[in-house]
Amino acid sequence: MHKFKILKTEKGEFRVQFVYNAEIMVWSENYASKASAKNCVESLKKNAPAAPVVDLTKEETGSGYRFEIDEAKNGETFVRFRAANGEIMVRSETYKSKSSAKNCIESIQKRVAEAAVEEVE
């Protein structure tokens, strides 16, 4: 089951995770308020399903809401989702294969709109 988790950090900030069972697929930066974390969730639900995928390892470029596939320092690939203003909303772990990164994006696009939201204090 895919769902969002809004977690409160030790410092009283809030972070968003999109999870499948116990696996964290992507996570956000820390937000000062729970309202900002909820805005992140709503924006992902609205904009991620139809967002284009830009493969930065192939020197592709893009603008607006988009998924990006990029290469980490260790040579593995990871996924980011950028807002229209260029801010990174969420990112994934690194994957050994680019196909795993693409699977992550496809899973998010198919399931994010209907995902439940769980608030964890």
Which domain does 38 fall in, by range? Answer: 2-120
Find the CATH number of the domain harbouring 108.
2.30.29.80
- What pLDDT does residue 121 have? 76
Task: Record the pTM.
Answer: 0.93
What is the tens place of the pLDDT at every residue in 28-85?
999 999 999 999 999 999 999 999 999 999 999 999 999 999 999 999 999 999 999 9
| Number of domains within the chain | 1
User: Residue 77 corresponds to which amino acid?
Assistant: T
